Amino acid sequence: MAKVDMSVNIAGVTLRNPVVTVSGACGFGEEYKPFYTTADIGAIAVKGTTLLPRLGNAVPRIAETPAGILNSIGLQNPGVDVFVTRELPRLREEGACVIANIAGSTLEDYQAVAERVADAGVDLIEMNISCPNVKEGGVAFGVIPAMVEKITAAVKEKCGKVPLIVKLSPNVADIAENARAAQAGGADALSLINTLIGMRIDIKSRKPILANKIGGLSGPAVFPVAVRMVWQAKKATGLPIIGMGGVATAEDAIEIMMAGADAVGVGTAMFKNPMAPIEIRDGIERWCEEHGIADVKEITGSVID
């Protein structure tokens, strides 16, 4: 059998394979170089970038949970200037497909960052309106459908030719409604899910483990929620989707693709296994071979429901 076509398409941008390393789990792609390069994966979504540098939250910023983790990094990042001048040229040279993940406190912040990264020539822009870890970190924009539509439309204006992905929060009443709101605002694609809000308490000290008290839950614990939401968002919009949330194996990736994801995000799984993105990529390819699938895109939305 001929080789499997592993490429996928997100809003007109071709990814060489469906595996995306998710925002916040892979920095700007430098740290995982001993294990894989950004040329080995479909795309890299870089750390959430804001207009000005952010120091982030106090420590502890991470806690283990059953089948997952809680984090409250608080969008620590060097600011959009550093991203554009230092990280982006290097990523370009490596042959990365770059998804700039943007965040902000105000609508104007989002617009300004979007304009900078669009001008700098990233492949895709992912607007994070779902960070649970900073008060003004966009959640305000991500929960109410009318706000989702408003900010999407405002930011889309500044993206020029670069397609805009709206990253949806799972901490909402009806994901389908929020997905439709993003589409109405002009989103070219969706990514979901961001983390679910959670909390852990050390029963010895009676104190929350995280300094921020609450944080975002990710890892296998959230996987069924992610599958359900991807399925609903796809049905509601038909937009290209990067599905993420607890994907740890090739089988998980195939499952979330069947639910409607065009590409698959891998984050928390890397902390245990730095090779996870590569193993997932190769596992998907093998599965396609074994099942006589010539084009990985055939998996997307193939759930029999």
Which of the residues are catalytic?
131
Residues 91-150 that bind ligand FMN (CB under 6 A): 101, 128, 131
304's CB contacts (< 8 A; 6+ apart) are none
Q: Which residue number, 88 or 166, has a Cβ lying nearer to another protein?
A: 88
When asked if residue 27 is in the footprint of another protein (CB under 8 A), the reply is yes
HEC sequence for the chain: CCCCECCEEECCEEECCCEEECCCCCCCCCCCCCCCCCCCCCEEECCCECCCCECCCCCCCEEEECCEEEECCCCCECCHHHHHHHHHHHHHHHCCCEEEEECCCCHHHHHHHHHHHHHHCCCEEEEECCECCCCCCEHHHHCCHHHHHHHHHHHHCCCCCCCEEEECCCCCCCHHHHHHHHHHHCCCEEEECCCEEEECEECCCCEECCCCCEEEEECHHHHHHHHHHHHHHHHHHCCCEEECCCCCCHHHHHHHHHHCCCEEEECCHHHHCCCHHHHHHHHHHHHHHHCCCCEHHHHCCCCCC
The answer to whether the beta carbons of residues 237 and 243 sit under 8 Å apart is no
Q: For ligand FMN, which residue of 247, 250, 257, 284 counts as binding (CB under 6 A)? A: 247
Q: Give min distance, CB of 23 to another protein, in A.
A: 11
Q: Give min distance, CB of 278 to another protein, in A.
A: 11
Q: Give min distance, CB of 71 to another protein, in A.
A: 6
- Residue 60 interacts, among ligand FMN, another protein, none and using kind-specific CB cut-offs from 5 to 8 Å, with another protein
Residues 212-251 that bind another protein (CB under 8 A): 219-220
Q: For another protein, which residue of 147, 270, 278, 299 counts as binding (CB under 8 A)? A: 270
When asked if residue 36 is in the footprint of another protein (CB under 8 A), the reply is no
Residues 35-94 that bind ligand FMN (CB under 6 A): 47-48, 71, 73, 75
Q: Give min distance, CB of 225 to ligand FMN, in A.
A: 10
Residue 171 structure tokens: 């901490």
- Residue 244 interacts, among another protein, ligand FMN, none and using kind-specific CB cut-offs from 5 to 8 Å, with ligand FMN
When asked if residue 167 is in the footprint of ligand FMN (CB under 6 A), the reply is yes
When asked if residue 268 is in the footprint of another protein (CB under 8 A), the reply is yes
Q: For another protein, which residue of 15, 17, 19, 47 counts as binding (CB under 8 A)? A: 47
Which residues of this protein are in contact with another protein, per CB under 8 A?
A: 24-27, 30-35, 47, 55-56, 59-69, 71, 73, 76, 219-220, 268, 270-275
Q: Which residues bind ligand FMN (CB under 6 A)?
A: 22-25, 47-48, 71, 73, 75, 101, 128, 131, 167, 194-195, 218-219, 222, 244-247, 265-269
